[in-house]
Amino acid sequence: MTDDRDRDRELIAKVAEGDRDAFSELMASTEDMVFAVCLRVMGDREAARRSYRGVLALSFAPPEAVTAAQEGLESAFTWGNNNGHSAPGGQEQ
């Protein structure tokens, strides 16, 4: 197990440097686990496939793109928290 973790750390470092072969190897070794997590979270096979593709896309995106995606999610969650807990008519539940 430790050898696998060490190898994954090495691959992640190479991916961060832009190594596409390392990315392919890392994805091949983790794709089943990542899809299983997506399926468990989403509860729907098609939604899990879309999420999995999103994970792959962000995995090799430049850091600034990932940061922008995180900021967008944070904004969406903030909006949902500020607006999603109000009953119709603006009264708190």
Any idea where the domains of the chain sit in the sequence? 2-80
SS (H, E, C) 24-83: HHHHHHHHHHHHHHHHHHHCCHHHHHHHHHHHHHHHCCCHHHHHHHHHHHHHHHHHHHHH
* pTM across the whole model: 0.54
Q: What is the pLDDT of residues 59-70, one digit of tens each?
A: 766 666 656 655
Q: What is the pLDDT of residues 4-38, one digit of tens each?
A: 888 888 988 888 788 889 888 988 888 898 899 98
Give 93 or 47, the one with higher predicted confidence. Answer: 47
Percent of the chain with pLDDT over 90: 12
